[in-house]
Structure 1
Amino acid sequence: MTIDNVRVIVLGESKPDESEFVQVTPVKPFLMGPTQRWWNAWGWDAPIELPWHSKEVYTPLSHFPLPGGARVMVARFPEADIYLDEAPVTPEHQADHDRVIDMLSAVDVAMTAVGPHPAMHRTDTVDLGFVAEGEVDLEASDGTVVTLRAGDIYVNSGAVHAWKARQSGATVFFVFLGANRKSVPGPVGP
């Protein structure tokens, strides 16, 4: 099974205690590299207020959300043995790649390259990932690698990491929650 088509189905409240489907919409993927596809399905850019009812298709201000915002995305990682940030961008995918880079720099949303190699990065988000199919490696900055498989749930609270595609490829559903990062030296924790 390979997920190629993604739809967003949004239920809204038109009046108190009355709901309706405000969107049943196919989501067009954008391409990163030769085979990595992302679907930006839904989200918000500030804390959401209820009841919510909007028939407008969501257009994000940035790739990653600001504090109080969220993104719901699907990623199809390629069938390859490469770090995802090292995948070549082919000419036919350059426009999608440039659009994401522009979105990263459009607002002050941090995606910082850090760690022992160029694919290591962190974002100012809490990332929730749900592996639907295949396998993908997740690497910590100390070199430890965990292979995520179908059924695994991934949680990252803004930590440094890198993704490495495996021969099987993988589809991961993500929810990115925008967060503020402390810049105070010392112990890390809540």
Structure 2
Amino acid sequence: MSGFVRRVVTGHDENGKGVVISDGPAPYVHSIPIRPGYFSTDIFRTFETPALVKTHQEETTLGPRRQLPTKGGSVLRINHFPPEPNGNEHMDVQTSKALFESLGNAAGSSFEKNGRHPLMHRTETIDYAIILSGEITMLLDDSEVLLKAGDILVQCGTDHAWTNRSNAPCVVAFILIDGQYDETLQNIVQNQEK
């Protein structure tokens, strides 16, 4: 399977009539050489809340890879997770950090702190994860949940990782919305990071 995702974006003509301004492959597909078979296709980004609706929307996904939305923004992406029968156990702390750096989130890796899984990370976001095909396991600090096609997860800024323990790829749509921890949770997170 390739990273091709057909993306249709609408806008307005000079009279305010709705028109299609682009229809074709989403232009930004990110792969990671140290994680063969994984790729992520950025579909669209917003940069503020409320999102600015324009007559003709420029391309929002180009530029360096950014795992997270901008402050007040959001991002929609489709991720393809290949089977990982060994669950990436071979990955060391430095490789984990390099992987998150390639995603544009160098500080994201929490593997060194918790040691549960090399892809453990925490983001100050609300994420909607919609399993489009296959199945995937979401790991938390000391529990896990198996998600299958049609399931939807709401990820509320927890430390987590994804692992595909099946024998087939899993495709997940992610919508990440910029968030902010409340004061109590912020204090807890800061204490964990010490």
In the other structure, the counterpart of 2:85 is 81
Sort the Cα spacing of 1:73 and 1:30 in 2 relative to 1 into closer, same or farther, 3 A: same
TM-score (normalised: structure 1):
0.75
* Structure in which a larger fraction of residues adopt strand: 1
| 2-structure distance, mates of 1:70, 1:83 | 29
In the other structure, the counterpart of 1:39 is 41
TM-fit CA distance, 1:10:
1.1
State the AA in 2 paired with 1:134. G
What is the aligned residue count? 172
For the residue of structure 2 that corresponds to 1:147, the secondary structure is strand
| 2-structure distance, mates of 1:41, 1:84 | 27
TM-fit CA distance, 1:176:
0.6
Percent identical pairs in the alignment equals 22
The unaligned stretches of length 5 or more in structure 1 are 89-96
State the AA in 2 paired with 1:20. V
Sort the Cα spacing of 1:112 and 1:179 in 2 relative to 1 into closer, same or farther, 3 A: farther
For the residue of structure 2 that corresponds to 1:111, the secondary structure is coil
| Correspondences of 1:27-106 after superposition (within 5 Å) | 27=26, 28-32=28-32, 33-58=35-60, 59=62, 62-83=66-87, 100-101=102-103, 103-105=104-106
Q: Are 1:164 and 2:163 counterparts? A: yes
Sort the Cα spacing of 1:158 and 1:98 in 2 relative to 1 into closer, same or farther, 3 A: closer
TM-fit CA distance, 1:178:
0.9
Asked if the contact 1:69/1:177 (under 8 Å) is kept, the reply is yes
| 1-structure distance, mates of 2:120, 2:101 | 21
Higher relative contact order (CA 8 A, sep 6+): 1
| 2-structure distance, mates of 1:43, 1:25 | 17
In the other structure, the counterpart of 1:182 is 182
TM-score (normalised: structure 2):
0.74
The unaligned stretches of length 5 or more in structure 2 are 93-98, 189-194
TM-fit CA distance, 1:164:
1.0
